[in-house]
Structure 1
Amino acid sequence: MGWIRQAEADAGERNDRLTTDEHAELVALRKENAQLKWANDVLRTASAFVAAQLDPTRPR
């Protein structure tokens, strides 16, 4: 009977679970967060590579 509880949450009758919209937003934000972490890792790696190319005496 999870769908009944979910319908009640969506109607504002329950506060013990996320609404369908909140759940969808949470999923989207987690996906975006993972993508941003990946992009930061790529940029960090690229930055270190470029820095090493510009200053070969720099310790790695």
Structure 2
Amino acid sequence: MIETGRPIPEVAEELGVHSGTLHSWVSRWRRNGSASSDRPAPAASVGRLRDTERAELERLRREMSEKKKRIRELEMELDVFKRCMGAPRSSV
């Protein structure tokens, strides 16, 4: 259709959707850059993060890194605990 130049009815039949529906989606896409909305996409959302989104992403990455570190620490503690429990007791 858009890239291949195939007719909408042919593609619609192949996809199993009504040709009018596909035509509507293509029209919206040509008009707005998105087939899912009648409203134009905001300029900031085209491949760029807003400052607030970037800050939140950085915060979430730091948080994830800290949680992974804590998980590794707990796994090591568990390993030590298992070794202590499995070791034979010394008679004093």
TM-score by length of 2: 0.46
Q: Which residue of 2 aligns with 1:45?
A: 76
Runs of 4+, deviation exceeding 3 Å: none
CA distance in 2, matches of 1:42, 1:14: 40
CA distance in 1, matches of 2:44, 2:85: 59
Structure 2 stretches lacking a partner, 5+ long: 1-41
Q: Which amino acid aligns with 2:77?
A: A
Q: Which amino acid aligns with 2:55?
A: A
Query: Residue by residue, what CA displacement relative to the aligned partner does 1:19-56 show, whole Å, maximum 9, x if unpaired?
Result: 11100000000000000010000000000000100111
Of 41, 44, 52, 1:14 maps to: 44
Which is bigger in relative contact order (C-alpha 8 A, separation at least 6)?
1
Structure 1 stretches lacking a partner, 5+ long: 1-11
Q: Judging by fraction of residues, say which structure has more helix.
A: 1
TM-score by length of 1: 0.69
CA distance in 1, matches of 2:85, 2:62: 35
The number of equivalent residue pairs is: 46
Higher-Rg structure is 2
